[in-house]
Amino acid sequence: MRLSRALSWLCVLTLGVVVFSTPAAAQSVNRAAIDELNEQLLYVALPLTLFVELMLVYAIYRFHNNDDPRPTIDDPALEVTWTAATGAILVFVGVSGFFVLANPYISPAAAGASDGGDVGDEMEVDVLTYQWGYEFSYPDSNVTTSETLYLPKDTDVTFRLRSSDVIHSFYIPDFGVKQDIFPSQETVARTQPTETGTYRLYCAELCGSGHSRMQADVVVLNQSEYDDWLDEQRGTGANNTTAPDGADNTTSPDGANATDGANATAASVARPA
């Protein structure tokens, strides 16, 4: 009796935590879609987990002293019901996952962005990666920066990603954005920031001895603050580039400075037709 009562209270407590907990606000449209999918799957997985665990505890408690075990009696109705319920759950998980993967922010190819399709009023940022840093170019504004990526809030952004040397990655955990970047190939990532603040950008592919310091800040500003920042950059001169910390001490295999090499590559690499 005490065991059953304790299990009942445990179930009630667990359900209460899930139902009444308030998740943190998502920082981008991508993150919101991923969090919503996780929440849907949690509501399906939690009851199943509790049911299976309760049945396991019951079987252990009910039959642990059974000195005369007997084979389980066949129950076709139960087997059909259990199989059908499992199939329905798998279909739900598959459909839910498909709609998230088909989201143009999660899979840019779904919107034709990777084929050079019309992106409408989207803002574009060209991202050049190199050992070991990022360079961000804003073609519409003739501004280039390193170390910090500035984005306006509530604006669709398309990142066109290139690598000047080895495989790198463009990973912003708070945005739910992760895209590998390959040499001699342009890849695309998309997002729409929904919360102002400063976030971290990482390389998630082991790209050499300086991989651990290949990071950058992502600063999301209100539209007016972003416009002021652009005006300030134009006032200090176009192509305002700041080398990442420690980049001036890093040399490429031929002895050239890594930042100089990246800038030279940026000038020589043309976007595919």
154 and 231 share one domain? yes
**Considering the domain boundaries, does residue 71 fall inside one?**
no
Which residues, including other chains, have CB under 8 Å from residue 108's CB and lie 6 or more apart? 114, 158, 188, 189, 190
**Considering the domain boundaries, does residue 218 fall inside one?**
yes
What is residue 132's three-state secondary structure? coil
192 and 88 share one domain? no
How many domains would you assign to the chain?
Answer: 2
CATH of the domain at 251: 2.60.40.420
**Considering the domain boundaries, does residue 132 fall inside one?**
yes
93 and 136 share one domain? no
Q: What is the pLDDT of residue 75?
A: 82
82 and 153 share one domain? no
Per-residue burial over 77-112, b = 16 or more CB atoms within 10 Å of its CB, e = otherwise: eeeeeeeeeeeeeeeeeeeeeeebeebebbebeebe
Residue 192: φ, ψ to 5°: -145, 100
**Stronger pLDDT, 144 or 255, i.e. the higher one:** 144
Segment 225-268, tens digit of pLDDT: 999 999 898 877 545 444 444 344 333 333 334 444 444 444 33
7 and 44 share one domain? yes
Which residues, including other chains, have CB under 8 Å from residue 45's CB and lie 6 or more apart? none
Please, is 265 exposed, middle or buried when counting C-beta atoms within 10 Å of its C-beta (0-12, 13-18, 19+)? middle
Residue 220's pLDDT band (boundaries 50, 70, 90)?
very high
140 and 176 share one domain? yes
96 and 166 share one domain? no
pTM metric for this prediction: 0.67
**Considering the domain boundaries, does residue 111 fall inside one?**
no
Q: What is the pLDDT of residue 237?
A: 57
**Considering the domain boundaries, does residue 116 fall inside one?**
no
Q: What is the pLDDT of residue 242?
A: 44
210 and 155 share one domain? yes
86 and 197 share one domain? no
Range of the domain at 217: 122-268
Q: State the Cα–Cα distance between residues 33 and 36, nearest whole angstrom.
A: 5
**Considering the domain boundaries, does residue 57 fall inside one?**
yes
CB atoms within 10 A of CB 144: 20
Partnered with residue 228 across adjacent β-strands are none
Residue 148's pLDDT band (boundaries 50, 70, 90)?
very high
**Considering the domain boundaries, does residue 148 fall inside one?**
yes
95 and 127 share one domain? no
Residue 151 has pLDDT above 50, yes or no: yes
**Would strands 168-172 and 157-163 be described as parallel, antiparallel, or unpaired?**
unpaired
Q: What is the pLDDT of residue 272?
A: 39
Q: What is the pLDDT of residue 104?
A: 86
**Considering the domain boundaries, does residue 110 fall inside one?**
no
Segment 184-194, tens digit of pLDDT: 899 999 999 99
Per-residue burial over 48-61, b = 16 or more CB atoms within 10 Å of its CB, e = otherwise: eeeeeeeeeeeeee
